[in-house]
Structures are given as C-alpha cells and as structure tokens.
Structure 1
Amino acid sequence: MGRLLLIWGLGVTAAATAAAAEFTGAASPGALCPMNLTYASSSPWNTSSCLPETNNLAGCCNTLLTLFAVGLARRLRETGRFRLPDLPTSAACLADFQSNLTALSLPSTLVPSCFPPSRFVVNETTCAGIQTLDDWTRKLGNSSALHAACSHELSAGNRCRVCLEAGSTFFSQRTPIVGNGSQSIDCFYFLATYMAGIASENGPEDPNTARCILGLPLVSRPPTQRRRTAGKGLSTLQLCLTIASVVFAVISAILAAAAYLRRFRKKNQGEEEQGRRRAASTWYDIKELEKATRNFSEKNVIGRSAFGVVYRGTLSDGSRVAVKKMIESDFQGDEEFRNEMEIIGDLRHRNLVPLRGSCIVRGDEEEDGERSHRYLIYEYMPYGSLHQLIFPEQMKGSRQRRLLTWSERKRIILDVAEGLCYLHYGVKPAIFHRDVKPTNILLDGDMRARVADFGLARQNRAGAGHITTRVAGTVGYLAPEYALYGRLTEKSDVYSFGMVVLEVMSGRKALERSPSEIVLLADWAWTLVKSGRAHEVLESSLRGGGEERASAGWGTMERFVRVGVLCANVAVALRPTMREAKRMLEGDIDLVPIPDRRLPLCRGFPRP
C-alpha cells in the first residue's frame, strides 16, 4: 500500500521549478477545459499543506496532484481517455483548477508552481503508447482482478488494503511491458486513474475512493470509520447511558413538536396558502416580492411568454432576482406545485439558472374564483438571454449588435450541452426541458451560459417515468415527433439543442418567414454541409481571414456545425444523445457521417 502512494508523489518537487514558465507559455485564449473541476472547491480534502504559513510546496503539489487526478479519473470514466488532447487544453484545465483553489482562499500561484501543462497531455511515448481504455486492455490484458478488489465500498481499512495490493500485483506483473524508468511512473499514474475511475464502483469523487486509491488527504475520516473508532472507547455502561439519553431527548422533542404543531395549525389555518415553509428552496411572502419589483411595475418587465411575465427585482438583502409571475399552469393543485418546487429546488449545477424560491397566493374569490397565483424566483442573470446577443434587433430599445467571438460561441454551446446533460443524466428520474431556445439560455456575470425555465418539473403523464417541464415548446425548436405525435424522449431536447447550435454558429433564426416561403435553418444547413460547403453556414464574422480564423481553426468550427446538423435531424433514431453530442463537440469521439435527410420540413431554401 505504501508503494502506491509513494510512487504517486514522485517527480512533483522536480517538476515544480519548471512548471510556471511552461504554464504561461501554453495558455491560449480560445482553449477550453472539457472537465468540470468544481469538485476541487467542494470536496472535503485537507488544504493544510497548501496554506501559505506551512511553506511546504512539495507537500502541497503532491496533494494537488491527487486532487487533480480525481478529475482525470472521472474523465476516463466518461470518455475512455486517459489524458488531455493538447497543451492549450491542459493549460485551460489547470487554470480552471487554480480558480477553484483560489475560491478556497488558497494562493493563486499554486498550480503554475506545481505542474507543467505537458504533464497531462497524451502522447505516443507515455506508458507504452496507451491513450484509451481500448489501448489499456489490448496492451496490459485483463483487469478483472482490479475490479473484483476495488469495486466495493473502500471505507473499511481491510478493503482498501486489498484494493491497493491488487493494484501493486497488477503493476508488478506487467513490468516487462511498462518498464522501470520514467515510463513506469507514467503507467502508475494511469493505473491509479484506472482503479479510481473504472474499477471503483463509487467513482473517483467518492471521498473514500479518493483517499484510498489516489491518496487524497481528507479533512477527517469518512463517517463509517469515524463512528467505528468512537465506539471502541465506550464501555457498555457508557453506551447504554448515551443511548438512553438520546432516546429520551428525541421522544421529548417529538412530543413538544407535536403539541406546537397542533397549536400552530389552528392559529394559521387561514394563512396556509402563503407558502412560508422552507425546504430545498425558499417560500417567499408576496409582500416581499411586491416590494422587490415595485409592485410588479411594467418598467421592471424583462421578459414575456405565453406562460408568464418576468420582472427584475431587488430583495431586502440587496440581492437581485428575476421574478416570474405565472399566467398559466397545468398543476392540479397547490400541493402538487409545492412538491415539484421542492424537487427542483435541490438541483444545483453551474449551467442551470438557480431557482431561489417560490410563492403561492390565493386569489380573490369573486374575481379569480379562488385561483391561486404562483411565482418563481430565480437568480438574476446580468447579461440577459442568448437571444438578446444574437438577435438584438428584436429586443425593445434595439442597440448596436455586439458580435460574439468564436471562443464565446464555443463556450456558450458547451455550457448549454453541460446543463442539458445534467438534466438528462445527473437527475433521477431524468428531466426533459422541452423548450430549449435562445431566450431560455441566460448569461451570468462571467458570460457563462445557464439553462433556464426548467423549473416546472413534473412526472411524465405518458407513463415513461420521467420528469418533464411544463413549457410545451416553441415553433422552430420543437422536435417533429413531439410536435406532431406528442412523443417525448430525451432526443426531443437534442433536436432543440441542434437548432440552437446552428443559430449561434450562423447568426440566423431557426425559422425564417417570407411572403413566398418558410425556411427551416436545419434544412438550409444540411444542404450546405452535404454539398461540402459547411463553412458557408458560419456567420460572416467567423468566415473572415482575421484572428478568429487563425486562432480557432476551421476544423473545430465545422465540427460544431456538423454536430448541430446531426442533432437537428428529423429522424429520432439518427440523432445522437446529449452525452454523445457533447463528446463530439469536445472532440472526444469521432463524428458520424451526416445522414441523408427526409423531405424538408419547410418549403424552399435561402440562397447561400
């Protein structure tokens, strides 16, 4: 066990001195990191070795290496690739990694001082040329012994030891293949990444997995070990007394709470609809919302739709919010609405607009027939919607259009893909958005895209066992099978996402009308791509011969256009899943050929 953790730290000190210079040289403004490294600021790892007062750079670098390995192991689990594709991508990931460390009030120079970006870039000489899981199996053989030893919960010391011993045995048996020099150390990194990302059933972000396999120091022992250790010091008498005291306290608390609730219900029966109880999200008082929005003034309106009006507001604590007053809803009652809001209130992802809370107010019996008024409160997004950026001429108070750079478009598209992947795969049961479009994609203070209007989730009435949003969809973005036959699947969102990708890349609207014809953007783009003119889909500012063209590369832009066309195919079976679309955008998997398209959904094509 000691050998694994020892080898993991080798080379950190030697590399630290040259890391800063290479880190700066590898930085590229257009490069994006394909990994989500936010776990670095939320995981329970021990930061003590990286505090300025400890003056222990070598120890800190070793800890940060194991922490970064969590992200590499998760990427291996998701993509089947051991390292990052190139130097700019590695530098971008290390910059993101440093940002998350800075959020913990750690020094801003740690990562540049510890790691040269080349350390995490794939090449043909690293570990016998292994780059993917297929290479691993082909060159190193069967890994079933690792899976058998490491698939269990690794909180217990014995299970952790068995897993590490299996890794040590596996490694020593393959010395003739991996060698004994620096390549051997690289192969050890791959082995640890494989054990945490593939062999471990709980995955690398599980604290016990990260502590056992990667050697990540935690703030405290995992809960199972902590309870076991504490129990050893208690005598039988002490244990019995402790249990008796706890039971007595719990019973007393329950009886007191029951008595209080009986009094509370009698006193507040008529005010129950104000919804002040707290769960995952806050239930606001209508008076607070009226004050925040200046009594829902027309001057504060920032958006309208068939299902509600959105107002800008400022709460009493100074925080800015967007308040959506719902006009229409198909929830059967307020209790159903409350339950669904509590489910959605638990969703937290960097590419979703956070739902801060809700409000229910019973209407006037004479005017509204006692119909309740419902409000949703979101965090305010200062840069508005994506629609405002790509189609500003349609907005009230039209202004000079600010052309998005290629790096901004790329980041926005990948952010939306991340958000939708979370709704499809990160939530059980899955959430289908049903109304993915530029007006439902908002931009925060860092110009990062966040998916909005997913907040009215409910069980799919068709019996598919999924949760779907209330919004029915928008013409031009609706998947044909859903619009025509009411069939809703995860690929309905994929179609809408494809239309958004094409709009961002081309600067044209999903549906364009003229007196003589209606043109669907996907049909036009498909025609150009199939005829070998994919570059003509790009907005003119991206087709120029300036810095954008030189820095971005036509290949990447064309890949985004092709993914948009693939996603917007009218045939459900020919569309990729959101996970596949995201991996194609990031270059982790190859693009599939553009299939033949059925007859155009709309007549006519604009002249290229």
Structure 2
Amino acid sequence: MINLLCPQPLGGCNGVKESVSDWNISPRTSCCQEALIVYAHALALVAKNSSSGTIFLSQDQWTDCTRAPFQLQPNMSIESCGFNNFYYGSGKCSMLKLSDIDPNVTSQCSSFASYDEACGICTKKISTALDTMMESLDVKGNDTERATCLVGLMVSVIAGKKNGASDDFERCLPALAGPDGVAEALLAVVLAMIGLAAIITLIKYVTKNEKQKKRKSPETKGVPDIPGLYKFSKAEIDSAINHGGKKKCLGRGSAGLVYKGVLPSGQLVAIKQIYKSNTSDSFTREIEGLSRDTVLMWEDRVRILRECALALRYLHHHTSGCIVHRDIKLTNILLTHDMQAKLSDFGLARMIGMEESKVFTDVRGTIGYMDPEYMSNAKLTSASDIYSFGIVMLQLLSGQRVIELDLDARDQLTRKAKDVNKQKRPLADFQDLKMKGNIVMVDFKSILQLAVLCVASSSTGRPSVDEVVEELEKALKNTQLQMRQREKSSFEATPSKSPEVIHV
C-alpha cells in the first residue's frame, strides 16, 4: 500500500538542497513545496483510514516510501528537502494524531469563498497553532520538531478538507514561506525596474547618436528568468527527448522538428527544436500558417461532436466518481491528422464522489462557456459540462469564431439559436456560410435542438450525457449515410469522358 502512495517528483528540482533549519515555516523552493504537498496527501489518506488516526508512518514504512519516488530524477532524494526524519517516533511531534490537532485549523483552512482573505486567515491560524503546539510539547527552538509539527498540521487539514478545499489550501503554501520570501521578491522587482529604466535610457542614447543598420541574422538571446516559471536546461531537454534511450520525432515544419518528450514526473510534452539556419521570419510564417482559417465539412463537425460527447460520457461515468471537466471549449478540443477529436486540458477538472450529485467550489472556467447557474451559486454538477458542450455545438453549427465569444456574444448566440429552433427566424440564419449549404438538414435541425436543450438556463432542463451521445450517434450515422448516397448520385450523374461510338 505504501508504494502506491509514494509520489513522483515534478520537474524543476535540479540542484535543490534544503534543510529544515532553512525553513521559515515551510520549504522555500517550489520543488520541495510540491513534494511536501504530495507526501501530505499520502499521509492524510493513511491517517483517515487508520483507526488510531496516527499521522506519521513507522520508520520502516517511511524508509520504504523514500526509495521509489526519485527513480526518474536520481540527483534528488527525500534528504534533498530535509524530509528524512518525518516518521513515527522520531520526536514528540511525530507522535501526533488527527484528534490532537485543533479543529479550528481545519475549519479556517476549508472556507475559501474569498480566496485572498481566506488564505491569509488560514496561514495565520497555522502559524498560531504551530507556536502553541511547540510550546505545549516543550520543543521550542527545535527546527526538526517545528517542521514535523507543520507537516502534522498540513495532513490534518487535507484529511479533514471540506468541499474539496485542499486545492486552495495548497496554493496558500508559498505564503507560509514567510515575509523573507516576499521581501526578496519585492527587492527583485525594484532592482528589475531600475535596470529596465537604465536599459531604456541607454537604448535611446545609442539610437539617437548612432544610426546603425539592423542585422538581418538574429542574434541568440538568452531567455530571462521569470519568477514562478521553471527554466529547463539543455541537458534536461535532451534527457526528456531521449527518454528510455529512444528519440521519437512527431513531425516537422519549416522552422524545425517536433519531438516527443517525457519529463521526470512522467508527463508527456512536445518539444520543438528550431533549425540553426531558421530565421524569425520563417518561424512567424509557420505560426501564421497554423492560424489560417480551415473549413470543416459537415460530416467532420458531427464526428467531432460525437467523439467529444463520448469523452465527456467517460468522465461523467468514471468508476471513481463523476469527473466534471469545467473547461469544455473549442480550443480544448484537439484534432489529429485524420480529424479525430481529443478532449484536452484537465487542469480545472473536479471529482464528485459516488454518493454526491454536486459540490460547492470556487467558480472556475472560461467566460462565454461557463454555466450561468454554476456562476451564480458555485454549485458544480455534471450539467455544467453539458452547458459548455452546448455552446460548443452552437459554435460548430454557426461558425461563431472562438475569439469573439464573451458573455454578450454568448447570450446573442443562444438567443439566436432558440429563435431559429422555435422557427421565429429562418434556419439559414444559423448556418455557417463557409459550408455553402453542404449539410444534412435533418441532422442540422436535430443537433440545433439538442444544443438549445443543453444551454437551458436551469440544469434540470438539460439532457444527460447519455442522451447527448445517443442523439449525436444517430445524427452521425444518418449524415454518413446521406453523404455516401450524395457521392454515389453525383458519380452516376457525371457523364462518361470516353469517346462516343460514331456509326458510319
């Protein structure tokens, strides 16, 4: 069981070496913060399922858990972050149980209606509780005990989370790094502004007094470090491309080759290697080429909708519970070379337990696609995805451009669809003119009617994902049949090009 709980480290951990004596309250590096969160989740799961509620594992179990996680990143270990003493019996704080933790800590760190305010309250409560525990256990001044007690507090919050609030709690962790980190960040900003002002002054002086021709061949420019973003080294990129000793090219363009990459966490990525001879102009042309408008034929549009609906059904009927995507939109639907649709970007996805039909959570998503009911009451259900998918259907039917979809455009789109569905406006008003009428009218009407039901203002009036899949399956089968018949009729109606026989 312990092996299943052992996490895999994230990328961006090169050269990290922390000691608990370096902590203000929590780890300073994002690498160790992420690792601590994952370990805390594992310990919370064990503690919740334990009759005693003991927070920490035995030394043997903890040692077991420290062997496997860093196989993909051999230069890292649990000692790199100073976690090697977080086992039962290593000190007074390691003997803690869930029942020993002040329940007010969990309560204050589970209510994130107003994130900024709640995060401040949560971190303050943890700091206060930590000081109280250190004093009651008579371990003040002991850095190892302080770090162990902090882990105990984190585990208790995650184990007792309400409404899935641990996601927001985890984003509060950097704030626990204390004011030193904030001061360093402010100092960095001030220095950056001074440096930027000096550079601008210098550039103006040079351009005013010396007119030089711009070089046609661009110089290699270093990418500046951006706080919060990890900058991969060339060695790390090479390691990702050559993962497992195999190098796989996914494709090529005029600017370079695209390779399959695997990060130390196991995450798959695409890595583009720009040709040395490439100029910025050719790369710009490639980007512009990828952005050109491409007309999707009617059958392709119906197939894309059907495949996305199947993906949505898989999520909503997942064996562990209903997974709500929360960000269904056109730009999150990717197409393969043979026009197969793939639903992507699960960064906002939330799980609804088997016994639950809804959860209350912070409102996340993309404006224009978000369920109005979810936006008003923060009640998340599977019907929220159905609404977003209804907007996607209306966009594919009408050819509405993605970039134009804000709240006003969404309301205009849904009103127009409802008017056409009620025959208050002609059907031609809602058809994408780029298809030039090359559609199957009966299927267009049925999908329009389905989309209108999906964007109903109340979730109770929307169809289930099973009903959506069923209707789109029917539409696709009929569309394919009608298109084959049209092709056959067109072929038979085409006159033969063979020379006629002339009777003499």
What's the TM-score, normalizing by structure 2? 0.39
Structure of greater Rg: 2
What's the TM-score, normalizing by structure 1? 0.33
- The answer to which structure, 1 or 2, has the higher relative contact order (CA under 8 A, 6+ apart) is 2
